[in-house]
Amino acid sequence: MKEVDYIVVGLGIAGLSFCEKLLENNKSFIVFNDAKESSSLISAGIINPLVLKRFTPVWNAHEHISTAFPFYKNLSKKLNTEILEEFPMFRIFNNVEEQNNWMVASDKEELKSFLNPKIEKNTNPSINAPFGLGKVNKTGRVFSEVLIKKYSEFLLEKDRLLSETFDYSLLSETEDSIQYKNISAKKIVFTEGAYVRNNPFFPKQLLIPNKGEFIVLKVPNLQFHAMLKSSIFIISLGNDLYKVGATYDREDYSYKTTSLAKEELLKKFEKIITAPYEVVSQVAGIRPTTKDRRPLLGTLKESNRKIFFSGLGTRGFISSPSLANKLYNHLEHNEDLLKEIDIKRHYKDS
């Protein structure tokens, strides 16, 4: 029987972040991950501290940002691969009122470090932005697919990753441990993203799957190396390629791309960008979102050895590193989780 401190199920950005915390503290673990689609793999990997529709900060934005950038920079060194690009994000203003709201927001204490108060004049002839642009500070992009691939290789080399589907029916629990096949662990952490709804130990009503589709376009005349936000995101990938997204669909849980989503994205893109383009590819993923837009961390009342780290929604790449810290400190040092992220908040008598 192989004994470890933790079994981790899933290797999206949540699982990866938690594994890094375990390694940092010399904890033994084994990860189970199969070839299922992952929202982390196809994610745009955006690091953005703001809700740009309303010019408000993301929940816990300052802590997320201060943790995320060092985390990804350290991973770049560890994996000897560039996985983070710090580059600007611009919000297109639709009218004078939005310009005024931006300047008012930039004077607020919690937003000063994130919002540049200056209204930038648009000088790119391929971008339709007559009311100018607002620049967001402390933004960037994680190369999500590269990160997951390289980290999987890293864990394989360390003999810490099993590339197989986890069979819940083979999991048992004693007073002292978790048992799975020939592995005994003190705890098991499920970091399965939207797939956690298939987990028999998880109350599936707590998660609201939200399908999102992206398209990648080749736009040689755009010549814009940044991220642009209006009704959609447009993200420069280099080599005249731009990722455009995303759609939101709470009815369709499939990973199939749709012509309807492509038409919606292209229609919005053409209102913003006047340059000719070519559609290169289209992908779909399922976001693990929650009703209150807060993650789901910790244990249910039924077991203190089965742990969940899910519900990160659209903000996984900015929030996972700091949330992994909180979860680890809760499990190993008995630090209370914030009530707004503790999965037990959904019990009426909690």
Structure tokens at 119: 């209204």
Asked whether residue 304 falls in the same domain as residue 332, the answer is yes
pTM of the model: 0.94
Query: Residue 36's pLDDT is what?
Result: 67
- Under a CB-based contact definition with an 8 Å cutoff, are residues 199 and 300 in contact? no
Please report whether residue 333 resides in a domain. Answer: yes
Instruction: Return d(Cα 33, Cα 153) in angstroms, integer.
Output: 12
CATH code of the domain covering residue 228: 3.30.9.10
Residue whose structure tokens are 């009342």: 301
Query: Residue 44's pLDDT is what?
Result: 84
Give how many domains the chain has, as a whole number: 2
CATH code of the domain covering residue 321: 3.50.50.60
State the pairing for strand pair 183-190/306-310: parallel
Instruction: Return d(Cα 210, Cα 191) in angstroms, integer.
Output: 17
Structure tokens at 7: 């079994």
What residues make up the domain containing 330?
2-43+145-207+292-346
From the list 21, 3, 2, 9, the residue with the least C-alpha distance to 324 is: 21
pLDDT in tens, 84-126: 999 899 999 999 999 999 999 999 999 999 999 999 999 999 9
Residue 341 Rama label (left phi>0; alpha psi -120 to 50; beta): alpha
Residues of the chain scoring pLDDT < 70 = 35-38, 348-350
Query: Residue 1's pLDDT is what?
Result: 84
DSSP 60: T
Asked whether residue 194 falls in the same domain as residue 256, the answer is no
Where a domain ends, among 271, 289, 307?
289
